[in-house]
């Protein structure tokens, strides 16, 4: 059966961000056909021109240019003109895909990136393309160089460094869009007591060490339990309960790898009912106990 879906699966929990270099002479398939996902995506033309189509708008990027691709927006990437011969220079672009719900920016007057970029594409007059001079003023190349370095080394705290870099860069982008006439105040920011189905991921992440009830999460989204549960599964391909457990197990993995906390303390910090619950779920997920996982990590 042919799959006609344009949806590209987004594992927002286990892969909240992806940083890559796409060399069209080596990475296949190219062109990248029309698709959409839940990530916010940034592309930087490192070498040679590419054409990026976002929501039916075509943007030709030359070397040094940069473009923003909002979440849930159909887009594609292709050559400009004829396909280059093997001996000709092939385009290379750098990319960042990130779950916008995981971008944290301080300042009540600054819109949440999740809502901001979702709404940005609805305004057809907004130019998502930054030419090389504008991209240079934003520090785009340095931004990607730092991202790629952290992502490749994966040293202690690399994810915190990446989120910090992204938060700063996104703030600069919102400032630049404001200069282009897009007023952040015109884009709704949810109150502290109400969340959208995507905002709730941030709440879960911040409160995963506490007792979380699905019915309370649904209420925060102003939804019934059944509608919330159905919507969550449709968007993320798993139940909210499974998602919460995966958040907790990922945090437990981080503490096992980078701290000397004992299992009992880790279970308390990550929201498991006790150490037996953590051990049982960890073994079910990874096939080994937390103790074995820590031992294996120390050998790397």
Please give the residue range of the domain that contains residue 140.
Answer: 17-186
pLDDT at 185: 61
What pLDDT, on a 0 to 100 scale, did the predictor assign at position 113? Answer: 86
Same structural domain for residues 76 and 207? no
- Cα–Cα dist 29/282, whole Å: 36
State whether 41 and 145 are in the same domain. yes
pLDDT given at position 240: 92
Burial of 12 (0-12, 13-18, 19+ CB in 10 A): buried
* Same domain assignment for residues 108 and 161: yes
Verify that 128 and 274 share a domain, yes or no: no
In whole angstroms, give the CA distance from residue 134 to residue 172. Answer: 12
User: Both 155 and 24 in a single domain?
Assistant: yes
**Cβ(209)–Cβ(271) below 8 Å:** yes
CATH (domain of 219) = 1.10.10.60
Out of 164, 186, 208, a domain closes at 186
Q: How far does Cα 255 stand from its chain's mean position?
A: 22
| Contacts of residue 286, Cβ cutoff 8 Å, sequence gap at least 6 | 293
Tell me, what's the pLDDT at 189?
A: 43
Residue 92 belongs to some domain of the structure: yes
Does residue 5 lie within any of the structural domains? no
Do the domain assignments include residue 270? yes
Give the residue from 231, 198, 228 showing the smallest Cα distance to 216.
Answer: 228
HEC letters along 7-58: ECCCCCCCCCEEEEEEECCCCCCCCEEEEECCCEEEEEEEECCEEEEECCEE
Q: Tens digit of pLDDT per residue, the chain (300 long)?
A: 334 457 787 777 778 899 999 999 888 788 898 888 889 999 999 998 999 999 878 999 999 999 999 987 889 899 998 777 775 789 999 999 998 888 888 877 888 887 788 778 767 788 999 999 999 999 999 999 999 999 999 999 999 999 999 999 999 999 999 998 888 765 444 433 345 776 687 788 788 899 999 999 998 888 999 999 998 887 776 799 988 988 888 888 888 887 889 999 999 999 998 999 999 999 988 899 999 988 887 655
Same domain, 178 and 246: no
Number of domains the chain is built from: 2
Tokens representing residue 204 in the block: 């879960």
């Amino acid at each position: 059966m042919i799959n006609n879906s344009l949806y590209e699966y987004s594992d927002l929990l286990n892969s909240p961000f992806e940083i890559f270099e796409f060399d069209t002479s080596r990475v296949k398939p190219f062109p990248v056909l029309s698709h959409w996902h839940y990530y916010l995506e940034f592309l930087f033309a490192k070498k040679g021109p590419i054409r990026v189509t976002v929501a039916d708008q075509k943007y030709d990027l030359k070397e040094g240019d940069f473009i923003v691709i909002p979440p849930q927006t159909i887009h594609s990437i292709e050559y400009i003109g004829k396909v280059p011969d093997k001996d000709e220079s092939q385009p290379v672009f750098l990319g960042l895909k990130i779950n916008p719900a995981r971008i944290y920016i301080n300042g009540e007057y600054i819109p949440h990136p999740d809502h901001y970029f979702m709404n940005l594409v609805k305004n057809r007059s907004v130019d998502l393309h930054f030419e090389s001079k504008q991209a240079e003023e934003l520090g785009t190349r340095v931004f990607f160089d730092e991202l790629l370095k952290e992502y490749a080394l994966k040293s202690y705290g690399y994810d915190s460094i990446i989120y910090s870099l992204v938060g700063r860069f996104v703030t600069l982008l919102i400032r630049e869009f404001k200069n282009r006439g897009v007023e952040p105040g015109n884009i709704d920011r949810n109150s502290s007591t109400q969340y959208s189905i995507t905002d709730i991921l941030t709440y879960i992440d911040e409160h995963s060490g506490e007792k979380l009830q699905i019915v309370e999460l649904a209420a925060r989204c102003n939804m019934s339990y059944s509608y919330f549960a159905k919507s969550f599964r449709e968007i993320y391909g798993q139940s909210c309960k499974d998602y919460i457990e995966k958040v907790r197990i990922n945090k437990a993995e981080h503490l096992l790898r980078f701290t000397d906390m004992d299992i009992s303390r880790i279970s308390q910090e990550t929201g498991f009912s006790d150490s037996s619950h953590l051990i049982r779920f960890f073994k079910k997920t990874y096939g080994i106990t937390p103790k074995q996982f820590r031992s294996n990590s120390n050998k790397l």
